[in-house]
A and B are shown apart, each in its own frame.
Chain A
Amino acid sequence: MKEKSKARIDGRTNDQLRPIEAKIGVVSRADGSAVFKIGKTIAYAAVYGPRALHPKFLQNPEKGILRCNYNMMSFSGSGERVKPGPTRRSREISMVTEKALVPVLSLEQYPNAVVDVYVELLQTDSGTRCAGISAAAMALADAGIPMKDLISSVSVGLVNGNSVVDLTKEEEDSEGAVDIALAVMPRKKEVTLLQLDGILSKDQLRKTLELGIKACEQIYKIQQNTLKEKYKNE
């Protein structure tokens, strides 16, 4: 606890994100797309729709629905090959990705339709669901889906008792670490994804979440600038 100022394993300060690169319009066949790199994690997202939803019984006559699919490419994991196809983990991540994004979407104009979001991980090094969500939010904006806000997402947690942002694999796996997946509506500073693994006090949680929201603001700026860049010359 006393070693608060001590640098992290990779030399970053507690509130420092890994290097981020973002780009939109990377899949020309999609209605919207983005790639979001944070450290060595690389997430692609593509949006198709609003389009007709099949099977028909899933349709909602009140408004369109969002459908997300998270997938790791078979060679994207450290260690052994990831077997292709959905797993319990990937299905849960697909679901929480949906829940993280849907609060900012206005799909009332699209009854019976679906907006499909496909997230593919080319390379993983922790924080994959958060990178996927940040990419997906940009792809939705790129597709011109009406949105009340963007979504910015990052992992935060406790490592050696210190609140830190954007944990590495080593930090996640370290003794006593707390790992939180967080997604935020940056303008309202409200939370749309919260998953926590580990033990901590309420005070520590509050402090860590506040640090996370600040980190999401940094991500928001990058997302915003990337989106603005595209329309600058149009």
Chain B
Amino acid sequence: MNKMIRDHIISLLEKDMREDRRKLLDYRKPITVEYGVSSKSAEGSVRVRIGETEVVAGVKLDVGEPFPDTPDDGILIIGAELLPLSNPEFESGPPSIDSIELARIIDRGIRESNMIDLKKLCIKEGERVWAIFLDIYPINDNGNLFDAAALAALAALRDTKFPEYDAKKGKVNYENRTNKGLPLKKLPIMVTVSKIKNKFIVDPDINEWKSIDARLSVTTTEDGLICAMQKGCEMQLSLDDIEKMIDIATEKGKFLRGFLK
């Protein structure tokens, strides 16, 4: 990280200002959600933009054997790949720890909120269940991939329609898509609140993102409950900090929820 950039960002924040003239707790504009961007191939797909940051996410459905410890639950697998196409600092190769963390934070928010009724994805207990593969790719990483990716994940699940399943042959017919959507119950929105020195901000742009001292990603449901959290970066947080950050995340979660149809 460039110290001069960080010093500049801090000197602005001390005056409650940001480089792009936003308030500390404002998201960039516009925020857009575009559905069906890969509708020929994916059962659900979406493009989310927050300012210049752009993420695509897609869902493929398949039928497979359930895990032995959950014989009547469908399977959910979430992946994220930090494409070198989207950021000069990302490299090709096996998944980096950053992409693993991103996928796992989003996974936990969706899983722990019981957003998806996994029991309804069971076809035959112990033998056949639907498997949801949700994959997230940044196209342009101009900061705050976390919230954009989480929003894209939700939107892709909401865009998803089942393909036909031939129970006799045990095969999915991808050519014929039904108009039945996934069994969704909740809408868990993730908001990442960042701390730089003693200031809290949301939706850091790329320079701010590189200057963060601590971040807390908080996933909340529409009933105002917390369902997942993850602290990141190297600075410690006090209980007061955490409480404050949760309040911000809950409030901003309501705002982001408004962008999903």
Interface residues of A (CB under 8 A from B): 26-30, 40, 42, 44-46, 48, 51, 69, 71, 73-81, 84-85, 116, 118-120, 122-125
6 A-B pairs closest in CB distance: A75-B58, A75-B42, A81-B60, A118-B85, A123-B38, A74-B135
A51 to B89, CA, bound (A): 12
Q: Which of B137-145, B179-187, B192-200, B215-223 binds A? A: B137-145
Least CB separation from A73: chain B residue:
B137
Task: Tell yes or no: B258 within 8 A of A by CB.
Answer: no
Instruction: Report whether A44 and B139 are in contact in the complex, using a CB–CB cutoff of 8 Å.
Output: yes
Q: Which of A27, A44, A74, A116 touches B58 (beta carbons < 8 Å)?
A: A74
Q: Which of B7-15, B76-84, B108-116 binds A? A: B76-84
| Given A46-B85, A125-B41, 4 new contacts (CB under 8 A) | A29-B140, A29-B142, A51-B88, A123-B41
Instruction: Report whether B140 and A27 are in contact in the complex, using a CB–CB cutoff of 8 Å.
Output: yes
- Contacts A29-B141, A73-B137, A84-B79; A48 near B60 (Cβ below 8 A): no
Least CB separation from A139: chain B residue:
B85
Chain B window 35-72, contacts with chain A (Cβ cutoff 8 Å), 1 for yes, 0 for no: 00111111101000000101010111010000000000
A85 to B92, CA, bound (A): 9
Instruction: Report whether A76 and B62 are in contact in the complex, using a CB–CB cutoff of 8 Å.
Output: no
Instruction: Report whether A75 and B79 are in contact in the complex, using a CB–CB cutoff of 8 Å.
Output: no
Chain B window 221-248, contacts with chain A (Cβ cutoff 8 Å), 1 for yes, 0 for no: 0000000000000000000000000000
Instruction: Report whether B52 and A118 are in contact in the complex, using a CB–CB cutoff of 8 Å.
Output: no
Instruction: Report whether B133 and A81 are in contact in the complex, using a CB–CB cutoff of 8 Å.
Output: yes
Q: Which of B79, B83, B94 touches A120 (beta carbons < 8 Å)?
A: B83
Least CB separation from A82: chain B residue:
B60
A40 to B36, CA, bound (A): 12
Instruction: Report whether B88 and A28 are in contact in the complex, using a CB–CB cutoff of 8 Å.
Output: no
Least CB separation from A28: chain B residue:
B52
**Residues on B with beta carbons closer than 8 Å to the beta carbon of A123:** 37-42, 45
Q: Which of A75, A76, A77 touches B59 (beta carbons < 8 Å)?
A: A75
Task: Tell yes or no: B206 within 8 A of A by CB.
Answer: yes
In the assembled complex, how far is the CB of residue A17 from the closest CB belonging to chain B, in whole angstroms?
A: 18
Instruction: Report whether B41 and A78 are in contact in the complex, using a CB–CB cutoff of 8 Å.
Output: yes
A76 to B42, CA, bound (A): 6
Instruction: Report whether A76 and B52 are in contact in the complex, using a CB–CB cutoff of 8 Å.
Output: no
